Structure formats: structure tokens, C-alpha cells
Amino acid sequence: MQEMRVVALGRDPMAVQPVLLLQETGGKRRVLPVWVGVPEATAIELARRRVELPRPQTHKLILDVVSAFDRRLQLVRITMLRDSVFHAELVFDGDIRVSARVSDAVAMALHVDVRIEAEDAVLDEAAVAEVGMVGPAEEDDETEGETPSEHEELERFRRFLDNASPEDFGNSS
């Protein structure tokens, strides 16, 4: 299992579909692209930005119901890739596990700041090697060891996604 972080949400210019980019926090720092729907991308971005809406979205509502029953989400795991579809599970206290779509699981994890992990087998099959623009920038004006700001990192990803094609991410089927 590798810990993952949400690096960016972008748009696949070939499919005009949102793509969620998750990256290993350590190790090989591979990037896992997950194509998601527009509503799911919106929910993830709202959770990333900590936007509070007047009424809860479905992900927040589910977490509120879970909390009302004195339970809490402890972990999100990306468990497999089958027939080009990623599968995840929500791990609640008491080792209660619920199958979920990756997009929904990530949105929920962001709402309550829980760890996101991916199985090594999923990363081996579907992740791409670290893209130069994901990690620290290689520009001369940065001090060694410094990482770019979130804004700079996001801009580099957007430029990458503007020119990326599904083939750049390898075969995930």
C-alpha cells in the first residue's frame, strides 16, 4: 500500500473528461490518473478547496449520517483495477469496509482529512512514472530541496494536461 495525495484535477483534452491525478507521497512518486465524471470532479474540487455549501452535497451528507451513528471514516483504499474501472473501499472504525467508486471515496477522504492509499498492484498496472512537473521544479531559480507552491504545481499540471493524451498515461485497460 502506498499513500497517495490529490495533486490536481484537470481535463483530458482528447476525451473532454475530467481526470483526477493522485501521486504517491513517497517512494517512486508515480502518478495515478483516474478519469471521473464532471459532478464527481466538482465534488472533489469543492472538498479540496474546503468550500462549504448552504446544504451538504451527497458525500458530506453520507459522512454526517455515518457520524450520527457514532462511526468515522478512517481510511480510503484504492484496491483494484478491473475492466478499466478503479475500485476503492471506505474503511471505517471497527474495520467496517464499504465498496466505493474512487471519485466518491476521494471526495469523502478530502472532507474529513483521512489518508488515501493505493494497492501496489494498482500502481504497477495503471500509474505512470513521476512526471517532471509533479515533483520539485527543475528550474535554476529554486533552491535545492524547495518544492514549488501549490499554485505553480497546479499550473505545470494544467500545461501538461493541455497537451497530454491517454497514451501518455500508459495502458490502464
Q: What is the pLDDT of residues 113-153, one digit of tens each?
A: 999 999 999 999 999 986 654 444 334 344 344 445 555 55
Q: Comparing 71 with 165, which gets the higher pLDDT?
A: 71
pLDDT for the residue 94: 93
Encode burial over 79-108: b for 16+ CB neighbours within 10 A, e otherwise.
bebeeeebbbbbbbeeeeeeebbbbbbbbb
CB 59 within 8 A of CB 71: no
CB 157 within 8 A of CB 134: yes
Position 161 pLDDT exceeds 80? no
